[in-house]
Amino acid sequence: MVQAIKRDEVFIEPEGIHVETHQPERRSRKPPLLLVHGALAGSWLWTEIAAFLAERGWEAHAVNLRGHFTSDTAELDDTTMRDYADDIGVALRQIGRPTVVIGWGIGALAAMMYAERHPVLGLVLLAPSPPAAALPRRPEEHELRAVPAIYDAAWWGWTGSRDELRERMPDMEDEEIEKMSELLIGAKESGRARRERMNGVPIDASRFADIPSLVIGAGLDEVIHPNEARHTADLIGASYEYFPSASHFGLAMGAQTWPEVAQSVLGWLEEHRHAMAGASSVAVGARR
Strands (E), 1-97: 5-12, 17-24, 33-36, 60-64
Average pLDDT for the chain? 95
Are 246 and 171 contacting, i.e. CB atoms less than 8 angstroms apart? yes
What are the φ and ψ backbone dihedral angles of 204, each rounded to 5 degrees?
Answer: -90, 105
**Is residue 150 within 8 Å of 77, Cβ to Cβ?**
yes
Return the pLDDT at 116.
97
For 202-213, write each residue's pLDDT tens digit.
999 999 999 999
- Please report the domains of the chain, with CATH numbers, ordered by start residue: 5-287 (3.40.50.1820)
Residues whose CB falls within 8 Å of the CB of residue 249, separated by 6 or more in sequence, listed in order? 45, 169, 172, 176, 180
Assess whether pLDDT exceeds 60 at residue 285.
no
* pLDDT tens digit sequence for 182-196: 999 999 999 999 999
Give the β-pairing of 17-24 and 60-64.
antiparallel
Find the mean pLDDT for residues 267-274: 94
**Alpha carbon distance 141, 68 (integer Å):** 28
**Bridge partners, 21 (sequence order):** 8, 61
